Amino acid sequence: MSRAAPCVATTLDSIKRSLVGLRMPRALEVLDATVRRIEQGEIDGLAALDVILTEELTLRENRRVKTALLVARLTTIKTLSGFDFAFQPSLDRERVLALAELTFIDRAEVVHLLGPPGTGKSHLAIALAVEAVKAGRSVVFSTLADLVTSLAKAERDGSLRERIRYLCRASLLVVDEIGYLPVVPGGGNLFFQLVNARYERGAMILTSNRGFAEWGEVFGDPVVATALLDRLLHHAVVIQIEGASYRLRQHADLVPEHVRSKALIVPPPAPRRRGRPPGKAASDHTAG
């Protein structure tokens, strides 16, 4: 037994050097504890190998997801399990969970989350984006204001085409807070160019506290709004969230009655398609 111990130690040292060379820090970290479990008869060699590799794979997957979330600009993480469906009974829970299967991304559909402020639109949008990241899909998240600002800057720098091309590479583009802040002059046209480039090629999730009939006011141009909705409602999933603000649920008695009873956003009529979208030159003319 005493002669075997140095042999085991030598073998462990060799394994550790290999793990260092292979850049497997988590496997190296759990190696000694796993070997002790073998010595105590808790697991056999095959199970030990499985434990070590699973630990390393979990670490790498967590790192991948963390990096992808940063690239997507998802600095605040929300989950579907953390959403209080009981507080928003108007929501079809199964319909939302079906979206988490991400087949809408494969179909390049646009998911619209509509409702008054504080009803959970952004939470659901972020949660679905997180599910997409975990599934290995590329995601970009932005508020409409920040997105339009970045497009306007790219236009000034002469790099608008490259910026739109970058935003089109993502499997899922999430645009939050449509209607919360006024769009700068020309911003609607820039957003249209992006939407037109992604049309039938990439999925989107949009959140808004404004009904579609108000988008002409939101974008400062009813023609641009019509062109946007023509594409955004063609392959669309519209989810209307009704009810009170989730953030104000603990202070409902402090919210004025006229705010609590504010009329709900009216769902849009079914869109009518008029063939395929026009070519680039015609699209620019339409959006202008």
Instruction: Between 5 and 239, name the one with better pLDDT.
Output: 239
- 40-to-5, 109, 219 alpha-carbon distances in Å: 15, 55, 69
Average pLDDT of the residues in 222-250: 85
Instruction: Between 254 and 166, name the one with better pLDDT.
Output: 166
Tell me how far apart the terminal alpha carbons of the chain are, to the nearest angstrom.
85
| Pair 235, 201: CB distance under 8 Å | no
The rounded mean pLDDT for the chain is 86
User: What CA–CA distance (Å, rounded) separates 25 from 16?
Assistant: 10
111 strand-pairing partners? 205, 237
> Which residues 6+ apart lie within 8 Å of 107 measured at CB?
203, 235
Complete domains list, the chain, with CATH: 4-70 (no CATH), 85-287 (3.40.50.300)
User: What CA–CA distance (Å, rounded) separates 178 from 232?
Assistant: 13
**Residue 156: its pLDDT value, please?**
97
User: What CA–CA distance (Å, rounded) separates 28 from 5?
Assistant: 20
Give the residue ranges of DSSP H helices in 3-115: 4-21, 25-39, 45-71, 93-99, 103-106
Residues in the chain: 288
User: What CA–CA distance (Å, rounded) separates 138 from 129?
Assistant: 9
pTM of the model: 0.75
Percent of the chain with pLDDT over 70: 82
Instruction: Between 262 and 140, name the one with better pLDDT.
Output: 140
pLDDT tens digits, one per residue of 177-204: 999 988 999 999 999 999 999 999 999 9
167 strand-pairing partners? none
Give the strands of the sheet with 172-178, arranged side by side. Answer: 139-143, 172-178, 203-208, 110-114, 236-240
190 strand-pairing partners? none
Q: Tell me, what amino acid is at 160?
A: L
User: What CA–CA distance (Å, rounded) separates 206 from 231?
Assistant: 13
Q: 86-90, 92-96, 280-284: which range is least confident on average?
A: 280-284
pLDDT tens digits, one per residue of 30-57: 999 999 999 999 999 999 999 999 999 9
User: What CA–CA distance (Å, rounded) separates 62 from 57?
Assistant: 9
Percent of the chain with pLDDT over 90: 72
pLDDT tens digits, one per residue of 217-233: 999 999 999 999 999 99
